[in-house]
Structure 1
């Protein structure tokens, strides 16, 4: 069992790794293309509009808040309930960026499923305690709820991208249906 203090530092490390990789992905850009340019390589009707990706700013701001408050609260029982899953989700987030930027669509989907599973476990672990304190109720739970919601949509987009990458055209189905 990992101590609360160790979890706090792992959470910080994981978030820093995810933020750095995401910044490099578009700043360099990683492998010569931005994340959006790569998405445009797989035309389909499910890709969210470009402006919706601004949700990442909110998600990352909330996650930064979560990591900060975990250090400010002496007990923070929610840190133990989350366990290593936040750290795992952060490493998976960074790994997804690398897989995506190097056109490893199948691998990126597997990694996306790991992110989704990690966030779902966090969500369920946070929901098991009825009486959450103010920080957990107003920052921690909403942060992971928004993140899980977006990753749920992103997972469907990743599946759609894999289908396009594999040459699936919907067969007898129109693009709107599939």
Structure 2
């Protein structure tokens, strides 16, 4: 498997935007001044904001995307799936990070809509192509965009709530509690799409469970706290059910379908 220089402009652009996005996240986390609002320790809190450790899923996403920008030089599959859309997604993601950090949450939400659209295009194109023929295809092409797609969807909901439902010193109103629970239920319900669409997307579904457990760890209001835990357990159980059934089927000599 030799180096392929076809479509080199987009490949070089992918490297540049990847480094830019990675640098922005690192600076937001470890640099800046006291007025900089990092997504990892945010002042723009709502009643569905997860614990700060939850955001470190970016570490895994960035690691896999770093592998992707190297892997793209040995296969044309990355260009076929992503084209210039990874560049678009990374640029708008970087714009979102800058706007969020500077306190412009509404315009950050607008930028995130465009980033989500670009990531979704790549994600669904990969699903349509169904071209995960090797382990490298899975690890450095399908997996990073599965995680990225699920996480940017979570960020979109978090940003939406940061604009329209911020926290108060005296705790949430009844309306805010209902709205928060509805938001958590909406996020949890999307796991059905991740598992049932095409061959299923366990990685994306588990990102949603990770987020819900993060909300459980962060939010102290009883209704929100325990709802997040219950939904997190339900999402995890629903996601892992096919593997449990397959294991039970093997032990009993029967075969269980992969998707339940």
Short-chain TM bin: 0.7 to 0.9
If you compute each CA radius of gyration, which structure gives the higher value, 1 or 2? 2
Equivalent in the alignment of 2:31: 28
What TM-score comes out, normalization by structure 1 length?
0.85
- The count of aligned residue pairs is 169
**How far, CA to CA, are the matches of 2:120 and 2:40 in structure 1?**
29
SS in 1 for 2:176: coil
Query: In the TM superposition, what are the counterparts of 1:34-53 in structure 2 within 5 Å?
Result: 34-36=37-39, 39=42, 41-53=43-55
**How far, CA to CA, are the matches of 1:52 and 1:37 in structure 2?**
8
- Do the aligned partners of residues 30 and 87 (structure 1) sit closer, same or farther apart at CA in structure 2, a change above 3 Å counting? farther
Please identify runs of 4+ aligned residues in structure 1 that moved more than 4 A: none
Equivalent in the alignment of 1:63: 65
Equivalent in the alignment of 2:130: 130
Equivalent in the alignment of 2:145: 144
Structure showing greater relative contact order (alpha-carbon pairs closer than 8 Å, 6 or more residues apart): 1
CA RMSD of aligned residues (A): 2.3
Equivalent in the alignment of 2:215: none
* Partner deviation per Cα, 1:71-90 (whole Å, 9 max, x = no partner): 2x1x4233133111101111
What TM-score comes out, normalization by structure 2 length?
0.60
Identify unmatched segments of 5+ residues in structure 2: 1-5, 180-260
Shift of 1:131: 3.6
Identify unmatched segments of 5+ residues in structure 1: none
**How far, CA to CA, are the matches of 1:26 and 1:122 in structure 2?**
27
